[in-house]
Structure 1
């Protein structure tokens, strides 16, 4: 690599640029009917000469500049290709993100439904627990009532046994009364017979006495 250009080289470059400008103006002032090949030849020669002159006047060689420019263009093209690929990937990622967002929203909705369903089940479970407690309380009350009924049944059985015993005693008393009644009736019959006999005897004696006094 060369150092900075000197004053003479700068003046040469300025003269070269002036000549190139004059040649360009001359080539542009030519008629264009049928002389295109000549103009292209002059233009190519002028470009080649200008490139050679610039190579000699420029602090950096044109070939190096062109190679760097080509490299930059290649890198730019490569970056553009990579950018296109990245844009395509980004588009795919955005679509995937939209799909994922839709799935997330669906999952959130499903989660809300699950939460609501769980709350409903918890409420139903609480209601069932309350019903179970009420049934247990009712069962306990029924058990206590059953115990009371059993106690009452025992009391009734004892009372029934007492009544049966009393009935037996009453039957025995009734039998004894019947026997006594029979005996009393027999005595009454005997007394009636005796009274009738005494009455008949008295009446007969009176009749006999009356007859004797007549």
Structure 2
């Protein structure tokens, strides 16, 4: 009697899409990332949940939590939707995102949790073809039409400091984040040198090149507007 691999039925795949919308929240207006599955807004329309998408910059970029972990790594659980107030801990939808352990050709969303956004039954799982899924994340990240001037400056400052750690390294510091303020147009740069963080806001007319030149020529710790010391 011979032994063979049991036949696995081909799973159903969904088409994965992303779009960015401007939304009103309790914390103010801003961009939100909407998940489009098979042509429909997954959470707002298909499931009819209250809430809004998360900020695109929290889900796209350098280390997108939408990208799947590879088996046998533990899958990550990612918050995908949030309360209308804009605070993710108030209400949310999350899911586990990983590559299928029996093959690397598709991404699986599973173990959905819906917290305080409506009494609905979420899908058991969703499957997307990896090539299409990853390409859509890359496409949406590259398309920055929704991005304000302050966000663009913050992103460019982050990219320049990531590419050349020596800019802040000469001051024995490293970047924590460059934070845009869409209301004022300012960009705040937070750096750390061990247990102390230093934050300085740069004016709405300062582009990334101006901010980087300033960080090259002067110690940001000396001109910091706010200082935060971590307790030991």
Higher strand share: 2
Tell me the TM-score normalised to structure 2 length: 0.15
Question: Structure 1 or 2: larger helix share?
Answer: 1
TM-score w.r.t. structure 1 length?
Answer: 0.16
Q: Which has the higher contact order (CA 8 A, sep 6+)?
A: 1
